[in-house]
Amino acid sequence: MALSDKTLTQYNQEGIFPLPNEGEEAFYKRVMDLEKGAKAFFQQAKEPPPFPLIEQVPYHDWDFSKANIRRLFDVVPSWIAAYYSKKSLAPWQLGMTWIFEEKSLSLFYTLIQVRTRGKKEEVLAHEAVHAIRAPLGSHKYEELFAYMTSESPVRQIFGAIFEEPYESRAFVAFLMLFFASTLLFPSAAFLQAKVFGILLGTALFGGLARLFFRKKALNQAYKALKNLPLSSKNALAILFRLRDEEIDFLKTCSREEIREFVFTKKRKDLRWKQIFVSYLKEVNWS
């Protein structure tokens, strides 16, 4: 089947992006599966969900989060399923995005779990970024995009210092070990504080250095897209739809190199065709 430019643009605005090497027929089938909802997916996949699908986040609880995502990334993700549940979440985790893929059945699905009904808007927006970008299979810049949705300037700047769940777990375990050793061996508290301080400082410096270079690379790719020229809004929207290696490639590209790259990719990659008809069709490439 052939999807029209209008249909691809519509799915783009809903935040539904093609998987790598996914053809139009498979993409359309996945869109239809998404619209059926989480319970229908798990019936089809014949596996239990990771937590009870009892209390779904109602539409009105999404209002602020979805408005924020639309403002930043030109996405209105009405298809995302999110549920309130504490099961399997660590004490410090406010939410989690679950990704399910069954290649033999051509199934791919994302599900959001949220712990709290209180200050949930930022958690929903953060996890929605992960759910939307899940088909890209990229992680290098993932937390940078997710923390762009934060209301706090501090979290926007430093929130992505931990990229993987194991890093935050290791940090918590490190602090617990420090306090436990201080209580058990108070006579060596000064030496322990010095050793732990050096280790903690080294870890934080490494995280900050990584964060600095990731932000720098993302900003370089953003400027390269703006120079096409594109509006700031469209440049960020395209960046949000790119894989890690594409961002790394574009950050050093000239306008002519980007043109060659785009026209080559859109002929054989459905996601790039979607990006092109949504944002690049009107660019004067001459």
- Least Cα distance to 45 among 97, 103, 107 occurs for 107
Q: Is the peptide bond before 229 cis (omega within 30 degrees of 0)?
A: yes
Average pLDDT over residues 8-18: 96
The predicted pLDDT at position 47 comes to 84
Tokens of 85: 């549940």
The predicted pLDDT at position 175 comes to 65
Q: Are 223 and 238 in contact (CB under 8 A)?
A: no
List alpha helices for the chain, DSSP H.
Answer: 5-13, 24-36, 38-45, 63-73, 121-133, 142-147, 153-158, 165-184, 189-226, 232-240, 244-250, 255-268, 270-275
User: Tens of pLDDT along 70-118?
Assistant: 999 999 998 998 999 999 888 878 899 999 988 777 789 999 999 876 6
The predicted pLDDT at position 56 comes to 93
Give the span between the Cα atoms of 27 and 24, in whole angstroms: 5
The predicted pLDDT at position 256 comes to 93
Tokens of 116: 């709290």
Give the span between the Cα atoms of 28 and 204, in whole angstroms: 44
Four-residue CA torsion sign, 83, 136, 171, 210: negative
DSSP, collapsed to helix, strand or coil, labels residue 111 as strand
Q: Are 53 and 87 in contact (CB under 8 A)?
A: no
**How many Cβ atoms sit within 10 Å of the Cβ of residue 188?**
12
pLDDT-based confidence at 28, cuts 50/70/90? very high
pTM, full prediction:
0.87
Given a cut of 70, whether residue 241 has pLDDT beyond it is yes
Given a cut of 90, whether residue 199 has pLDDT beyond it is no
The predicted pLDDT at position 179 comes to 64
Q: Are 53 and 39 in contact (CB under 8 A)?
A: yes
The predicted pLDDT at position 177 comes to 66
The predicted pLDDT at position 116 comes to 76
Task: Specify which residues 114 forms β-bridges with.
Answer: 84, 95
Lowest mean pLDDT of 31-35, 91-95, 121-125, 280-284, name the range: 91-95
The predicted pLDDT at position 45 comes to 85
Give the span between the Cα atoms of 14 and 92, in whole angstroms: 30
Q: Are 33 and 41 in contact (CB under 8 A)?
A: yes
Q: Are 112 and 97 in contact (CB under 8 A)?
A: yes
User: Tens of pLDDT along 122-160?
Assistant: 999 999 999 999 999 998 999 999 999 998 998 988 888
Q: Are 286 and 29 in contact (CB under 8 A)?
A: no
Q: Are 180 and 231 in contact (CB under 8 A)?
A: no
User: Tens of pLDDT along 169-183?
Assistant: 666 665 666 666 666
Task: Specify which residues 111 forms β-bridges with.
Answer: 98
